[in-house]
């Protein structure tokens, strides 16, 4: 049954992506905010479709930390699946995400991504990528966009931990904007590189705003990393 439900979801995902990807081409004549808003409706649709087809529900703890936030912010999140890359776009709209540039070359899907004005980087050239992240990140913040960054760089299996890069904390310190940390267990229901989605409830925890004032990026990143990993451990224990 899970396989059949995942097949129905995957079919809808494919169709919705073609439709929105095709629509994104004429959208480039729209103002940036309008284009961004229309394209983000695709992420809402996919999250809703996953719930209908596969029973992938979610709950958010700490919404008050979003409601109290000052714009814009740097969002640093655990990265386990495709689910959070979609969900966070709506939760922190308007936002720009740092991602690998290869994604922009995917037909339809990549076209829609371009409309969201991401910061696309070449992960093979780390020095150039870091400069681009900082330069473009500064511009996006000045334009009023939140920055969504996955400091581990790639999707990590639920329960595992990757190496946290410091670029997000660097941007926060250099531009004097706060950090909002995000912990979740999306990978337990929507595993990376697996076709079958499992029914259940994803828990997303939004941490309190962390100010960069008077802080260095190393200490700031260490605080964020510890909070995310400890909170993910707590989510896992509660799910047992």
Question: For the segment 24-57, what is each residue's pLDDT rounded down to a tens digit?
Answer: 888 777 887 888 888 899 999 999 999 999 999 9
Note the pLDDT of residue 147: 95
Domain annotation for the chain: domains and CATH numbers: 2-239 (3.40.1130)
Q: Alpha-carbon torsion 146, 116, 9, 79, what sign? A: negative
Between residues 22 and 88, the one the model is more confident about:
88
Q: Is the pLDDT of residue 115 over 80?
A: no
Crossing angle of helices 217-239 and 167-175, in 10° steps, is: 120
Q: Cβ–Cβ contacts within 10 Å for residue 118, how many?
A: 21
As a whole number, mean pLDDT of residues 141-168 equals: 93
pTM of the model: 0.92
Q: Is the pLDDT of residue 240 over 70?
A: no
As a whole number, mean pLDDT of residues 207-222 equals: 94
Between residues 18 and 120, the one the model is more confident about:
18
């Amino acid at each position: 049954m899970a396989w059949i439900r995942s097949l129905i979801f995957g079919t809808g995902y494919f169709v919705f992506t073609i439709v929105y990807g095709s629509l994104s081409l004429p959208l480039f004549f729209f103002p940036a905010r309008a284009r961004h808003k229309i394209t983000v409706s695709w992420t809402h649709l996919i999250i809703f479709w996953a719930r209908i087809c596969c029973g992938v529900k979610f709950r958010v703890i700490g919404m008050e930390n979003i409601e109290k936030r000052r714009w814009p912010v740097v969002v640093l999140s655990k990265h386990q699946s495709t689910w959070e890359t979609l969900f966070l776009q709506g939760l922190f709209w308007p936002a720009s995400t740092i991602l690998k540039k290869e994604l922009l070359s995917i037909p339809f899907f990549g076209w829609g991504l371009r409309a969201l004005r991401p910061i696309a980087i070449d992960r093979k050239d780390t020095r150039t990528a870091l400069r681009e992240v900082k330069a473009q990140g500064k511009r996006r913040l000045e334009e009023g966009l939140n920055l969504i960054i996955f400091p581990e760089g790639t999707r990590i299996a639920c329960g595992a931990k990757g190496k946290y890069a410091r670029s997000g904390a660097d941007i926060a310190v250099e531009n004097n904007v706060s950090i909002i940390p995000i912990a979740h267990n999306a990978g337990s229901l929507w595993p990376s590189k697996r076709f079958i989605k499992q029914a259940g409830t994803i828990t997303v925890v939004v941490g309190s705003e962390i100010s960069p004032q008077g802080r260095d990026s190393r200490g700031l990143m260490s605080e964020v990393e510890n909070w995310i990993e400890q909170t993910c451990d707590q989510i896992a224990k509660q799910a047992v």
